[in-house]
Amino acid sequence: MTQHPYIPATDQEEQEMLQAMGLESFEDLVAVIPDKLRQKEGIGLSASKSELEVATELSRLAALNRPATSGVCFLGGGAYDHYTPEAVKAIAMRSEFYTAYTPYQAEVSQGTLQVMYEFQTMISEISGLEVANASLYDGASAAAEACSMALGVTRRSKILIPETVHPDIQAVIATYLQNRDAQLAPVKSVEGRLDPDDLAANAAEAASVLVQSPNMLGLVEDWAAARKAIVDDKTLLIAYADPLTLGLLESPGVAGADIYVGEGQSLGIPLSFGGPYLGLMATKKEYMRRMPGRIVGRTVDVDGKPGFIMVLRTREQDIRREKATSNICTNQGLMALWATVFMSLLGKDGLTRLARLCFDKSQYLGRAIHQLPGYELPFGFGYVKEFVVRTPKPASQLRQLADKEDLFIGTVVWQGEELLQIAVTEKRTRAELDRLIDFLGRAGQ
């Protein structure tokens, strides 16, 4: 059946619908709405337009967007311009994977269920933890769910969040927990990383500590040191990380984390103007029943053949809302599919090589910028693919000038100071890196 995106109802069709309901006019239809709730004046809409006029206007508005491909993208802060292989798109769009949306009927959803199972396995391997779920909405909501999970596990109310955690993640956590009996307490930083002494001084009776690494400044944090600073064994360590960086860094599980969460966009998912993205979560087996969302398991059917089925879903649909582990009702199935195909094609060695490419290129760029007059990397070179720069001119001014030369760079405010924020992926060539270096050298004079 052909899909028509724009089909207005004619006057005759409106009358036919009214007659079918036994009404004479639209006013009769809305008469049930109390007069005090009725809109007395217009709602600000202009006169109706034709299909051609609407299509033209929408095209004009869409053209105001500037996709990352229209320039050289060094933007970061949680979403990165990585390459998505064509093979990922081709495999992910096969109907046996992406059309079986509802995984409750296992007999007709084996494609989707197997993808979820393989996805969980890969995230468990990357994170170094025993159990992963079938994904959440995005990294920030996954972090909030982990904090909520810690409240339930420990029966405590204090959650420690270092100031080095991205402010967007902090805002989502605060929103999630605003009606819970939860106290969000900050942890101070030293030279761009969390202060282990301040963490130790405040960790008593805490439900959890959320440590992001690389943090909002791109710097690698020490999860193992954070674990040692938490003197209370009941306090859970939540490790937040871009999964791609785990190709180089020690896994959260090995470092002593109890829960891993992260944003999966770097696993082959396009920028797409901000979403949809992919929330990752893994934990120790002992906390499995506290995890939000879905978990898929492998089993055998009556004929002894392997198959996949939903084994756990701690959902509010199944139990009373106030007893639910989470109000998460679903998962990012299509994005998890993309990430699963991407990781399958890349393999363990490929993930490490990809992370190494980002590391080498970003180190080259950061060290070159550090040598420019008036520029400085204030926190050194302990980053994987993203770093901040102190500049001789206002960072926002440099960002605007770069935009005019189709160089996309970001800014971040840290302790009242505005810094440039630059991320380097495997897509950036030597010529593009040198082009940015040349621009900053000219613009900083």
Cis-peptide, bond into residue 394, ω within 30° of zero = no
Residue 96's pLDDT is what?
A: 76
Residue 1's pLDDT is what?
A: 37
Residue recorded with tokens 């270092």:
162
Burial class (CB in 10 A: 0-12, 13-18, 19+), 196: middle
Please provide residue 301's backbone torsions phi and psi, each rounded to the nearest 5 degrees.
-90, -170
Tell me how far apart the alpha carbons of residues 425 and 158 are, in angstroms, rounded to a whole number.
37
In the chain, which residues fall in CATH 3.90.1150.10?
A: 68-81+347-443
What single letter denotes the amino acid at residue 199?
L
Tens-digit pLDDT string for the chain (445 aa): 345 555 668 889 999 999 999 999 988 998 889 988 888 787 787 888 888 999 999 999 999 998 999 999 999 999 999 999 999 999 988 887 766 556 777 777 888 899 999 999 999 999 999 999 999 999 999 999 999 999 999 999 999 999 999 999 999 999 999 988 899 999 999 999 999 999 999 999 999 999 999 999 999 999 999 999 998 889 999 999 999 999 999 999 999 999 999 999 999 999 998 989 999 999 999 999 899 888 999 999 889 999 998 887 655 455 555 566 776 767 788 899 999 999 999 998 999 999 999 999 999 999 999 999 999 999 999 999 999 999 999 999 999 999 999 999 999 999 999 999 999 999 999 999 999 999 999 999 8
Token pair in block for residue 199: 């963490």
Tell me how far the alpha carbon of residue 230 is from its chain's centroid: 27
Tell me how far apart the alpha carbons of residues 176 and 149 are, in angstroms, rounded to a whole number.
12
Domain 68-81+347-443 in CATH 3.20.20.10: no
Contacts of 335 (CB under 8 A, 6+ apart): 135, 264, 269, 276, 277, 278
In the chain, which residues fall in CATH 3.40.640.10?
A: 88-343
CATH number for the domain formed by residue range(s) 88-343: 3.40.640.10
Residue 2's pLDDT is what?
A: 45
Contacts of 341 (CB under 8 A, 6+ apart): 87, 88, 91, 92, 268
| 396-401 own/partner pairs: CB under 8 Å, 24+ apart | 398/440, 398/443, 398/444, 401/439, 401/443
289 DSSP 8-state letter = G
pTM over 0.75? The answer is yes
Residue recorded with tokens 């202009």:
46
On whether the CB atoms of residues 289 and 314 are closer than 8 A, the answer is yes
Pairing, β 410-414 against β 306-313? unpaired
Selection from 256, 386, 360, 297 nearest residue 114 by Cα: 297
C-alpha to C-alpha distances, 373 to 313, 414, 441, nearest whole angstrom: 56, 22, 8
391 DSSP 8-state letter = -
9 DSSP 8-state letter = P
The three-point CA angle 253-114-344 to 5° equals 60
In the chain, the N- to C-terminal Cα span, in Å, equals 62
Token pair in block for residue 426: 């495997």
Residue recorded with tokens 């979820």:
116
